[in-house]
Amino acid sequence: MITLEGITKVYRTGEVEVAALKGISLHIPEGEFVAIMGPSGSGKSTLMNLIGCLDQPSSGRYILDGYDVSALTDDQLAWIRNRKIGFVFQSYNLIPRASAVHNVEMPLIYAGDNLQRRERAMAALESVGLLERAGHLPSELSGGQQQRVAVARALVTDPAILLADEPTGNLDSESSLEIMKLLRDLNQQGRTIVLITHEPDIAAFAQRVVRVRDGVVVSDERPSIAAEMVR
Amino acid sequence: MSILEGLRLAVNGLLSNRLRSALTMLGILIGVSAVILLVGVGNGATVAVQQQIQSLGSNLLTVFPSNARSAGGVQQGFGTGSSFTLDDVKAIANQQTSPDVVTAIPSAGGRAQLTYGNQNWNSSLTGTTQDFPSVRNYQLASGQFFSSGEVDAASKVAVIGPTVATNLFGSADPIGQVMKINRQNFRVIGVFAPKGSSGGFNNQDDVVVVPITSAWSYLLGGRGKNIQQIYVEATSAQATTAATAEVTQVMLDRHHISDPTQADFQILSQQDVLASASQTTGVLTLMLGAIAGISLVVGGIGIMNIMLVTVTERTREIGIRKAIGARRQDILLQFLIESMFLSGLGGALGILVGFGLARLLPIAVSALPTPVISTPSVFLAFGISVGIGLFFGLYPANRAARLRPIEALRYE
């Protein structure tokens, strides 16, 4: 599903070149729930931008669902983001002036996919349990509800992967638990999920944890399987 | 993204900042209504001038003495050229030699001081013959015009314009009254109907008309049997060109001039006057339109300014939209539709306001001509306002479309 081969990313600020990623290779098969962990400055945000096709690597190859993303134009990247990736951000990133259901159907608008658009948006809202809040503005919803709207928006185009960047970072522990259970349920239905976090108890929901530090992968393990093997 | 979606987004965006949108629209509204109103005033002036000239008689030719002929190589001043005689007038009116001429009348005059009782009035005096009303397009409100017999007898009778009647006689009936023209007693035998067109050029209602023979004998002392101009009535407005040629030939023959460039007279038709006046008012209209156009450009800059602010404010929203799959053209279209909607709506409202002001203006300022709004100018104004939205929206929209998604998402 996702294959990264020798990915590097170098930022240039004036005279100084900063290497955020120094050669990352990673394979994430379909249906996996992966957590990418690392302290701030480790390069995990850069990695998330690359996986999310918001940015392009300085060198290396990135294959997403059969598409070589490393050499695409801006508009082609927009198409990939629209069809292949569902984003869930830390700060929800809903459009404040649009109702919940309008936020959810927005990816379909940009896909030019008008077939039963409203019905599909409502179905996505139903799958996150927010059908009765469809007409509300984001400002009328709690943080947890806003994040569930964001998950519904990420799901509506039936993307290849769901990319969650610190999805619980702005939420209380109860809402955090709800969102993580939602993600786990989605994974059990077969959805590939990539989770970026720095909290171990959030990462614990994943089957596989990849640790990043100073732009390289320092560990890649499957704790739950390891735990089972110990038992 | 469809145009309809874009329009929905635009309305949504504009409604979220009502006051700002309204003020921006006001700039375009003022520009468009100014264009509509001022071009309307210019057109109104054109129509008013044309009507005034038409009221003199569209089939009227005026023959002036000219100084073009130089006697003995000496160029003479204007009006000092040889004057016309009554025989000239008769020859021009001759149906055999000039079939396109109905009739011709002489005209001589100047300013005259009129007195009746203790009332004084200074007016324009014209000495002429019995065909004056038909040639100069005058109707009589009461009484009658003088006859050929009264011209031959040099009778001391006068016909006055309504302005003179009001100022000299008030509400009393002037017919049969004796007034003094330059201290000579004249009996009023008729009053003209108002011609309506006042102001601007000579007031055609402020006139006193007497037989030319009487004017020579009693009023224009010392100047002899002088005719300042001859008015010629052509059979129709279309016949003025043919009539001009005929009159020219008759006059050249009578004055024994073989070379037309050496003619000692000039013929001016109302068509010529109309053409030059229309040209003048056309320039006026263009100038007024250009001045109003400047305010439209200022309005356009206002739109650009606000769109730049809007793009900056919505940087994060643009980032979100790009992250979930909006292409450059989607973002471009969204902001272009927004600016065009702003200017188009402002333009439409401006047209309505322009129409309203055009109605009110003549009531408020009676000296101005009634504005005449032409349909093409309305469509043009609307088209230009939408075009301004497109032109001035392009830069901000392009700026939004080029934003990089990660930077836009990080924007606080």
| Cβ contact, residue pair A107, B325, below 8 Å | yes
Are B24 and B160 in a shared domain? no
| Cβ contact, residue pair B328, A74, below 8 Å | yes
- The ipTM is 0.92
Q: Which residues of B touch A (CB under 8 A)?
A: 1-2, 5, 12-13, 16, 316-317, 319-330, 405-406, 409
Tens digits of residue pLDDT in A28-42: 999 999 999 988 888
Cα-Cα-Cα-Cα dihedral sign, residues A39, A40, A41, A43: positive
Q: For B12, which of A74, A78, A97 is closest by C-beta distance?
A: A97
| Cβ contact, residue pair A95, B406, below 8 Å | no
From A181-190, B1-10, B68-77, the region with the lowest mean pLDDT: B68-77
Q: For B324, which of A96, A97, A106 is closest by C-beta distance?
A: A106
**Chain B CB within 8 Å of residue A45 CB:** no
How confident is the model at residue A226, as a pLDDT? 53
B396-407 average pLDDT score: 91
Rounded CA-CA distance B282/B274 in Å is 12
Closest residue in B to A80 (Cα–Cα): B325
Closest residue in A to B12 (Cα–Cα): A97
Are B36 and B92 in a shared domain? no
How confident is the model at residue A140, as a pLDDT? 95
Rounded CA-CA distance A47/A33 in Å is 16
Answer yes or no: is pLDDT of B412 > 50: yes
Q: Is there a domain that residue B287 lies in?
A: yes
Taking all residues of chain B, what is their mean pLDDT, rounded to a whole number? Answer: 87
Q: Is there a domain that residue B158 lies in?
A: yes
Contacts of A72 in chain B (CB under 8 A): none
B288-297 average pLDDT score: 89
Answer yes or no: is pLDDT of B288 > 60: yes
How confident is the model at residue A231, as a pLDDT? 44
- Indicate the pLDDT class of residue A14, thresholds 50, 70 and 90: confident
**Chain B CB within 8 Å of residue A110 CB:** yes
How confident is the model at residue B318, as a pLDDT? 93
Are B330 and B385 in a shared domain? yes
Are B22 and B151 in a shared domain? no
Contacts of B405 in chain A (CB under 8 A): 54
Answer yes or no: is pLDDT of B340 > 90: yes
Answer yes or no: is pLDDT of B83 > 80: no
Answer yes or no: is pLDDT of B198 > 90: no
How confident is the model at residue B197, as a pLDDT? 54
Closest Cα of chain A to B317: distance in Å? 6
Answer yes or no: is pLDDT of B199 > 50: no
- Indicate the pLDDT class of residue A225, thresholds 50, 70 and 90: low
Percent of chain A with pLDDT strictly greater than 70? 97
Are B204 and B91 in a shared domain? yes
**Chain B CB within 8 Å of residue A137 CB:** no
Are B17 and B124 in a shared domain? no
Are B141 and B288 in a shared domain? no
Return the CATH number of A30-58+73-230, one of 3.40.50.300, 3.30.1330.10, 3.30.70.360, 3.30.1330.200: 3.40.50.300
| Cβ contact, residue pair A109, B1, below 8 Å | yes
| Cβ contact, residue pair A54, B406, below 8 Å | yes
Contacts of A88 in chain B (CB under 8 A): none
| Cβ contact, residue pair A81, B16, below 8 Å | no
Task: Determine which of B21, B324, B412 to mutate to test the interface with A (most A C-beta atoms within 10 Å).
Answer: B324
Are B220 and B358 in a shared domain? no
Are B238 and B104 in a shared domain? yes
Range of the domain at B22: 3-53+276-410
Are B156 and B240 in a shared domain? yes
Domain endpoint, select from B221, B254, B287: B254
CA distances from B332 to A10, B287, B325, B400, B401 (A): 30, 36, 14, 7, 5
Q: Is there a domain that residue B345 lies in?
A: yes
- Indicate the pLDDT class of residue A229, thresholds 50, 70 and 90: low
B261-267 average pLDDT score: 84
Are B384 and B291 in a shared domain? yes
Closest residue in B to A79 (Cα–Cα): B325
| Cβ contact, residue pair A54, B316, below 8 Å | no
- Indicate the pLDDT class of residue B1, thresholds 50, 70 and 90: low
- Indicate the pLDDT class of residue B79, thresholds 50, 70 and 90: very low
Rounded CA-CA distance A4/B264 in Å is 102
| Cβ contact, residue pair A81, B323, below 8 Å | yes
| Cβ contact, residue pair A81, B1, below 8 Å | no
Cα-based angle B263, B266, B270 (whole degrees, multiple of 5): 155
This prediction has a pTM of 0.74
How confident is the model at residue B223, as a pLDDT? 62
Answer yes or no: is pLDDT of B78 > 60: no
Q: Count CB-CB contacts under 10 A for residue B327.
A: 22
Contacts of A49 in chain B (CB under 8 A): 406
How confident is the model at residue B67, as a pLDDT? 64
Answer yes or no: is pLDDT of B211 > 50: yes
Q: Is there a domain that residue B306 lies in?
A: yes
Q: Are strands A33-37 and A192-197 parallel, antiparallel or unpaired?
A: parallel
Closest residue in B to A82 (Cα–Cα): B325
- Indicate the pLDDT class of residue B200, thresholds 50, 70 and 90: very low
How confident is the model at residue A145, as a pLDDT? 94
Q: Which two tokens stand for residue B274?
A: 């109309």
Q: Tell me the count of A-B CB pairs closer than 8 A.
A: 62
From A14-28, A206-220, B14-28, B74-88, the region with the lowest mean pLDDT: B74-88
Q: Is there a domain that residue B266 lies in?
A: no
Are B288 and B336 in a shared domain? yes
| Cβ contact, residue pair A110, B321, below 8 Å | yes
Q: What is the number of domains present in chain B?
A: 2
Contacts of B317 in chain A (CB under 8 A): 95-96
Q: For B323, which of A54, A79, A83 is closest by C-beta distance?
A: A54
B246-254 average pLDDT score: 89
Cα-based angle A223, A229, A230 (whole degrees, multiple of 5): 90
- Listed as own residue / partner, the contacts of B367-370 with beta carbons closer than 8 Å and 24 or more positions apart are B367/B199, B368/B41, B368/B44, B369/B41, B369/B44, B369/B45, B369/B47, B369/B48, B370/B44, B370/B47, B370/B48
Answer yes or no: is pLDDT of B336 > 60: yes
Q: Where are the domains of chain A?
A: 30-58+73-230
Percent of chain B with pLDDT strictly greater than 70? 93
First-to-final CA distance of chain B: 27
Tens digits of residue pLDDT in A102-152: 999 999 999 887 888 999 999 999 999 999 999 999 999 999 999 999 999
How confident is the model at residue B335, as a pLDDT? 92
Tens digits of residue pLDDT in A39-56: 888 888 889 999 999 988
CA Rg, chain B, in Å? Answer: 33
Tens digits of residue pLDDT in B108-149: 888 899 999 888 999 999 999 999 998 888 889 999 999 999
